[in-house]
Structure 1
Amino acid sequence: MEYGISTSCFYPELTENSVLNLAEHGIKTIELFLNTYRETKPDFSKKMKRYLTEYQMKAISVHPFTSGYESMLFFSEYPGRFEDGLEHYRQLYFDFMHEIGAKILVLHGCIDHISMEKNRYYERFAKMRDFCKREGIILAQENVAPFKSHSVSFIRDMKTYLHGEVEFVLDIKQAVRAGEDPFEMMEVMGENIVHTHISDHTKEKDCLPIGEGDFDFAKYFKKLQKYSFSGAAVIELYRSNFGQIEQLYRAYRQLELLF
């Protein structure tokens, strides 16, 4: 198991500046949260590769800035848009991921209020997963509060319907926001968890630096090991949820004590 920090913690700071900040603080494992089209171009991917090589860093995953479009691209009634959506994602992200060596592409999926029968969702995901797999990319479904993937029951049914042919990103804060128990979500995802977004929380706040809430991370990581988790636990916070950048690095040092 590895641990690191997502560049999303610095938003709206430019992604390249976020990577350099992480590098300067000795962070070796990161998630790249891309924020605009120019960051999917060859010049940018080459720059990211240069930074990663120079500072001996590893980008585990890529979080697409187009997550909000996934309902329209992949989960509408229009079949041609689905096919074009696959090609759109291939052009945007696959070459970038191959250049920097990232394997996991994070998927939010379909927003909750759009009407779509669950099994159709799962079938669409399976086609997307196969498309990504052929390109050497792991498409991983994240549990996200405003999306269909927010609930334990949806994730359980997804895993069952797809006969375990699915990968998941477990996000602690998103489980809390959806009123779900992160440990129950972990139990349902089980051995299919390939990545996790971590943050602390209290009863009043659901997205805090590690050590500023009361979540039991020792228990969390112990249970992850039960499922033979070998991915990365990446701190993912919103910039508005901490005051000073040093809080982010204190959170990282808390992780060092747990590993």
Structure 2
Amino acid sequence: MKVGISTACFYPSVNTEDTLKIIKDIGFDLCEVFLEAECETDFDFCMNLKNKADNLGIEIYSVHGFSAAFEPYLFDKYRRRKLEMEKRFRAMCSAAQIFNAKCYVFHGLRKTNEKIDYEEISENMDYLCSISEEYGIKIAWENVAWCRTSDPSFINEVSRNMKNDVYYTLDIKQAVRSGKNPVEYLNVYNNKLINVHINDAGYGNSCLLPGKGQMDLKGIIQHVSSINEDIPLIIELYRENYDTYDDLKKAKKYIEGLEEK
């Protein structure tokens, strides 16, 4: 079992590049980098971040972006805007390539009342997958409550109509916010699952430290391991969901302990 952590856990109080030392100090050597601003996709910034991670002995497994600002427009019918957003998408893929990351965590379309054109969406996803492949990066499509991917049947239908391979990130808190059991997504993702955002939930809160809620995390971990035991479990919380950095260290130990029980 590999347990990592997202730099998003320290947003907005710590700059992305400054999270790596904290991550190492609390016992992690695997992380997901969340690029919080467009300037963080610049070549020099990414090279400096990569060098810092290498010097600390941290593997950057996945990359996330400030998706709401551009990803929905990758499906836009206004071509000029769509092409502008493609530049941002390519910048994210390029950053992931510099980091030698395995995947880019993708949100995609917002959930709206607009009629779904599965063929058009599938064609767009095929195109985006072909772009990510240019950079040697897999798209890890994530279930998100405010996106179309909140619906497992939508994910299944789009994927069924695609020609290229698309992969997936399971996000537990987003599943809870969508009113779904995380297993519903796992049953769709199957062997295309390559990333997991792990947290606990319960007592009226969709995002808690692992071990502080009511989720069957052991069952979820066992399901994930049955797909591929090398899929990392990335702790992704919001800053208000924990008190001290030591809480994150304890969360890692809790998750690792679930495998032993």
- Counterpart CA distance in 1 for 2:6 and 2:88 is 24
Q: 1:104 to 1:3 in 2, by over 3 A?
A: same
Aligned-residue sequence identity (percent) comes to 30
* TM-score, normalised via structure 1 length: 0.92
- 1:222 and 2:233 matched: no
Whether the 8 Å contact between 2:26 and 2:246 is mirrored in structure 1 is no
- Counterpart CA distance in 2 for 1:85 and 1:36 is 14
| Displacement after TM superposition at 1:217 (Å) | 1.7
Secondary structure of the corresponding residue to residue 201 of structure 1: strand
Q: What residue is the counterpart of 1:97 in the other structure?
A: 96
- Counterpart CA distance in 2 for 1:209 and 1:158 is 33
Q: What residue is the counterpart of 1:244 in the other structure?
A: 244
Deviations 1:19-47, CA, capped at 9 Å, x for gaps:
11001122100000111122112222122
Q: How many residues align?
A: 257
Secondary structure of the corresponding residue to residue 106 of structure 1: strand
Counterpart mapping for 1:130-149 below 5 A = 130-149=130-149
Q: What residue is the counterpart of 1:8 in the other structure?
A: 8
Counterpart mapping for 1:181-196 below 5 A = 181-196=181-196
Kindly report structure 1 stretches of 4+ aligned residues shifted beyond 4 Å: none
| Displacement after TM superposition at 1:114 (Å) | 6.2
* TM-score, normalised via structure 2 length: 0.92
Deviations 1:73-95, CA, capped at 9 Å, x for gaps:
x11112343344323322x2233
- Counterpart CA distance in 2 for 1:164 and 1:218 is 32
Secondary structure of the corresponding residue to residue 206 of structure 1: strand
238-247 vs 25-34, which moves further: 238-247
- Counterpart CA distance in 2 for 1:210 and 1:9 is 13
Task: Name structure 1 gaps, 5 residues minimum.
Answer: none
Superposed CA RMSD? 1.8
- Counterpart CA distance in 2 for 1:126 and 1:23 is 37
Q: What residue is the counterpart of 1:206 in the other structure?
A: 206
Q: What residue is the counterpart of 1:110 in the other structure?
A: 109
- Counterpart CA distance in 2 for 1:164 and 1:127 is 9
| Displacement after TM superposition at 1:99 (Å) | 2.1
| Displacement after TM superposition at 1:161 (Å) | 2.0
